[in-house]
Amino acid sequence: METRTGNNIQHAHLTLRQLCYFVAVAEERHFHRAAERLHVSQPPVTQRIQEMERALGVQLFARTGHQIGLTEAGHLVFAEVKATLAQVDRIREVARRLRQGEMGTLRISVRSSGSFIRPFREATEAFRRDHPGVTLNLVQMAFQDAIEALQQHKIDACVLRRVGPEIDGVHQVVIARDRMMLVLPLNHPMAVAAKVALSDVIEEPVITFPDEKTTLYKQVMQLWTRTGSVPRIIQKAESGLTILGMVAGGFGNAILPSTLSQIQVPNVVWKPIDVDEQLTSSAIILLYRADAQNEKIQSRFVEYVRRFSSESN
């Protein structure tokens, strides 16, 4: 703020203490009572007000004996000072909520199928309900991209199928477990079977995911390897929903995680694969950094995931 005195420009350096002293005097209309309210002696209060008047170049108080009152300029300044102090209080409250983990943004990478994982869905719903000041920013990333983004602090957590070796500085929570199942068109000859061996459908067309680096793709291919043959892949699709639609249309069969069976797609049947169950079992995990930027928010979210995790129930 600047004031002009003759040809000179004076910069008005106002402090929060000056503004607080000014409000106290304006409301008490008495320097001594204002000093008592502020728990200071009177001389510093008088001095701060005089400094403020010189800095602004206007008289804020009219003094008549022991009585003081705001001048017209004082009334205008008072309204602005009150608004300024209210804004400062809001800034302090925001900072407090940030420190306490009550406000901020949590960035989580999760594939589209993540919304079908019941424990994760229930955990996010409960967390958002209990922490309205925190924004959960869900993004979709490929498997390796999510790992790299987590290591580079670009995201705070990611939901993936179990990875191999442990990653330095990264913790994990098992959210749920599902299994890989064979998805067939409703009119398929094996649609009535209790279980289906992959060797029984080895000659039939297969639809799968395109990313050969993902845990899901590798697990599917390992299942086919057990048959001693290479699947006849005719089509690849990015999402499980697209694959389900293609199976429903009779374009081929697919192996998908049972989590996706919650999607009500007509004209498909889900069949257990006749193989060692350990080969079809799959764990969905939450990965998060030990030194997360939003540590308090993250730790609270992790506790919600633990609470709703099928591993904890």
Confidence check: pLDDT of 272 > 50: yes
294 pLDDT tier (thresholds 50, 70, 90): low
> Whose structure tokens read 């989590």?
259
What is the phi-psi region of residue 259: left when phi exceeds 0, alpha when psi lies from -120 to 50, beta otherwise? alpha
Examine residue 255 and state whether it is found in any structural domain, yes or no.
Answer: yes
113 and 86 belong to one structural domain: no
Domain that includes residue 20, residue range: 2-99
Give the tens place of pLDDT for each residue, 140-157: 887 788 888 998 889 999
For position 41, what pLDDT does the model report?
93
Examine residue 226 and state whether it is found in any structural domain, yes or no.
Answer: yes
d(CA 262, CA 142): 22
163 pLDDT tier (thresholds 50, 70, 90): low
113 and 207 belong to one structural domain: no
Examine residue 249 and state whether it is found in any structural domain, yes or no.
Answer: yes
43 pLDDT tier (thresholds 50, 70, 90): very high
Least confident of 15-19, 96-100, 306-310: 96-100
CA nearest neighbour of 224 among 243, 246, 186, 197: 197
The CATH number that applies at residue 43 is 1.10.10.10
The number of folded domains in the chain is: 3
For position 5, what pLDDT does the model report?
43
Rg, Å, the chain Cα set:
33
161 and 180 belong to one structural domain: no
> Whose structure tokens read 């424990």?
119
Mean pLDDT over the full length of the chain: 86
117 and 148 belong to one structural domain: yes
For position 293, what pLDDT does the model report?
58
Give the tens place of pLDDT for each residue, 165-221: 677 788 889 998 889 999 999 999 999 999 999 999 999 999 998 866 667 788 888
The CATH number that applies at residue 236 is 3.40.190.10
pTM equals: 0.64
Examine residue 313 and state whether it is found in any structural domain, yes or no.
Answer: no
170 and 297 belong to one structural domain: yes
Cβ burial, residue 132 (10 Å; 0-12/13-18/19+): exposed
